[in-house]
Chains A and B, each alone.
Chain A
Amino acid sequence: MGINKDYLGRTFPATAPYEVSRVKIAEFAEAIGDPNPVFRDRAAAQAAGYPDVIAPPTFAIVVAMAASGKAVADPGLGLNYAMVVHGEQRFEYSRPLHAGDVVTAQSAISGIREVGSITMLTTETEIRTVDGEHVCTGISTLVERAEA
C-alpha cells in the first residue's frame, strides 16, 4: 500500500471558525515555557502595540493542524500515521494571531515525494480570519518511515 499520488494538489474543506482565546494562548505559552507577558497580560500586549494578548509564533500549528490533520488522515491518501514524523515546518506571517481572532484554516496537499523507502508529504495551510484577512500560512512536511 503506497501513497495515493492522485491527492497531489487536492484542497480540503476549510475548518469551522476557531476563536483564539486568552486562556488557550496562556496555556500554550505555559506549555512551551515562555514567560513573555504579551502572551498573558492584555495591558502588556497593548503597550507593545497589539489589540489583545498575542499568540506565540508556533501557536499557529494548533489552528493549522485542525485542517492539515484531516487531510493527512484521509483514508484514501494511504498514509500510515503510526510511522509518520514531522520533517519540516515553515510559517509565513502577515501578523501574529491575537485573542479575539476568529479564523478558519484550509489545507491543500502541495507535495508528495517518494525517496527510497520513505514518503514525504507536504501540506500548505492558510489561516485567515472569517473576514478573509490572511494571518499565516503553514507549510508542513511529514515523513512516513518504512515499516520495520
Chain B
Amino acid sequence: MSGPVSYADVAQGAELPAATYPVTRLSLVKYCGASGDFNIIHWNERIARSVGLPNVIAHGMFTMAQAGRYVTDWAGDAGALVEFGVRFSAPVVVPDDDMGATIEVSGTVEEKLDGNRVVLGLTARCGGAKVLTRARAVVRLP
C-alpha cells in the first residue's frame, strides 16, 4: 500500500482504473455475522425466490463496502472519506456455485473542491447490470 494520493496530483476528469471484487455465498455468510444483518434473503435461496427474487442477493451494504474499498485503495488513506453515498439500483445475485458473482467498480474524478477535497463519481456493475447508481464519494487528500 503506497502513501496517500496528493490533491495537487489529481486531475479533474481523470478516469480511475476499474477493479473487480468477488462475492460468493461464503462472503454473504461472513457479512451476515460481521454486520449483524441476518435478513434471510441473503442466505436462503428458497425464501429469496418465494419473495420474487431470482436467487440469494448480496447485502447492499456489502456492495457499498466494495465501492468504499475502491475509493480508499485509490486515495491511499482508509480514513479519507468525508461523504459517501449510493443508490442500490439492482440486486447483486449470488448463485450457489464456486464462482459466485463479480462486482466491477470504476470511478472518475468529477470535481476538485476547496479544502483539498475531491469528488469521485463511481459506478458498480454486476453481470451487465448497474448495481450502484448516483454513487459519489468525497475524500480529503493531503
Contacts and interface: CB of A to CB of B under 8 A. Distances in A.
A54 B78 contact: yes
B37 interface: yes
A88 to B, nearest CB: 5
Contact of B85 (A31, A50, A83, A90): A90
Interface in A57-86: 57-58, 61-62, 65, 82-83, 85-86
A90 B81 CA distance: 12
Chain A contact residues, majority secondary structure: mixed
> In the complex, which range does the number of interface residues on chain B fall in?
35 or more
Interface string B112-130: 0000000000000000000
B62 interface: yes
Interface in A103-127: none
> In the complex, which range does the number of interface residues on chain A fall in?
35 or more
A8 B64 CA distance: 27
A33 interface: yes
Contacts of A89: 60-61, 64, 85-86, 88
A48 B36 contact: no
A87 B85 CA distance: 11
B81 to A, nearest CB: 5
Interface of A: 24, 27-28, 30-34, 36-39, 48, 50, 54, 56-58, 61-62, 65, 82-83, 85-93, 95-96, 139, 148
